[in-house]
């Protein structure tokens, strides 16, 4: 033993998973499987302290996280409650199209219309934080849901990323997931603009709708966890076949 270990691993915690996370998972399971139901319930903090044998700060961290996820809510002098359904529970989060659809059980794939390098231009350059003459990569895709075209996406990324993306299976994999899992970028958040417009001739052909059909146009600038813009997209959804759903919270600050 030339290297004496200072601290033997503690109590019940062998894995590097924080205690509050473990407790959070247990409680989440109990909520989802109905142990703690509907609109009331949930043991008090002191009860949880006893049953899990942890300190209050740990219990509160677990409960706080669950509250942030929207699974529970607290009322001061009364207690902690399970919040109702779960249908749209966490949909105000940034997801790729495929992610969102597959989690709803839909079958999707994309057809790459084009992928080429070009000058960013003023609008795209400003979003991605590069000069208008700097080269970026533009990716045009049609997204299919159950074999019917549902959206036309134009994606802009930096030249470096774009050249890597060119080698990927873009027909079946989300760009988001490639960026995260394969390239190791931590995605942070996104800024969206949503508006309604009419399909022009080009868009109508891509989406197989009539010219003048209603289209949901979304501009989305996705950023890394550090706040650097990494992906800028124009998304055109068929108005007759797609609804953008989300759940947002009222801030009480």
Partner DNA sequence: TGTCATTACACGTCATAACCAGTTATGGAG
Partner DNA sequence: CTCCATAACTGGTTATGACGTGTAATGACA
x/- binding map, residues 147-186, to a copy of itself, per CB under 8 A?
---------------------------------------x
**Token representation of residue 68:** 């942030």
Considering the complex, what minimum distance in angstroms separates the CB of residue 223 from a copy of itself? 8
131 binds, among a copy of itself, DNA, none (CB under 5 to 8 A by kind): none
Considering the complex, what minimum distance in angstroms separates the CB of residue 43 from DNA? 7
Among 92, 24, 17, smallest CA distance to 52 is for 24
Under the binding rule (CB under 7 A), the answer on residue 69 touching DNA is no
Q: How many angstroms from the chain centroid is the CA of residue 181?
A: 14
Nearer to a copy of itself, 53 or 214 (CB): 214
147 binds, among a copy of itself, DNA, none (CB under 5 to 8 A by kind): none
Considering the complex, what minimum distance in angstroms separates the CB of residue 105 from DNA? 32
Q: Over the range 165-174, which residues count as b (16 or more CB within 10 Å of their CB) and which as e?
A: beeeebeebb
Element holding 141 (H helix, E strand): strand 135-145
Q: Work out the burial of residue 74: count CB atoms within 10 Å of its CB; fewer than 13 is exposed, 13-18 middle, 19 or more buried.
A: middle
Under the binding rule (CB under 7 A), the answer on residue 79 touching DNA is yes
Which are the contacts of 165, defined by CB distance < 8 A and separation ≥ 6?
115, 137, 139, 157, 175, 178
d(CA 165, CA 155): 11
Which segment (5-13, 174-182, 189-197, 207-215) binds DNA by CB under 7 A? Answer: 5-13
d(CA 145, CA 243): 13
Considering the complex, what minimum distance in angstroms separates the CB of residue 55 from DNA? 3
Which segment (9-17, 81-89, 143-151, 162-170) binds a copy of itself by CB under 8 A? Answer: 81-89
**Binding stretches for a copy of itself (CB under 8 A):** 39, 57, 68-70, 73, 75, 81, 83-85, 87-88, 90-94, 186-198, 212, 214-217, 225-227, 237, 239, 242-253
């Amino acid at each position: 033993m030339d290297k004496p270990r200072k601290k033997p691993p503690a109590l019940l915690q062998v894995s590097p998973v924080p205690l509050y996370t473990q407790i959070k998972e247990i409680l989440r399971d109990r909520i989802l499987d109905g142990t703690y139901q509907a609109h009331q319930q949930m043991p008090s903090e002191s009860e949880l302290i006893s049953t899990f044998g942890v300190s209050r700060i740990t219990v509160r961290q677990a409960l706080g996280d669950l509250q942030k996820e929207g699974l529970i809510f607290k009322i001061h002098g009364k207690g902690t409650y399970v919040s109702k359904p779960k249908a749209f529970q966490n949909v105000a989060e940034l997801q790729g199209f495929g992610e969102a659809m597959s989690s709803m059980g839909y079958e999707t794939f994309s057809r790459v219309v084009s992928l080429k390098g070009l000058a960013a231009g003023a609008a795209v350059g400003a979003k991605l934080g590069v000069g208008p003459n700097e080269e970026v990569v533009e990716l045009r895709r049609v997204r299919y849901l159950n074999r019917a075209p549902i959206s036309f996406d134009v994606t802009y990324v930096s030249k470096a990323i774009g050249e890597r993306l060119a080698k990927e299976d873009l027909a079946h994999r989300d760009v988001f997931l490639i960026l995260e899992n394969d390239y190791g970028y931590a995605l942070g958040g996104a800024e969206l603009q949503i508006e309604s417009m009419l399909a022009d001739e080009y868009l109508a052909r891509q989406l197989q709708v009539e010219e003048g059909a209603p289209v949901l146009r979304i501009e989305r600038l996705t950023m890394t966890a550090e706040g650097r813009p990494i992906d800028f997209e124009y998304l055109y959804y068929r108005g007759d076949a797609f609804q953008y759903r989300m759940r947002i919270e009222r801030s009480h600050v």
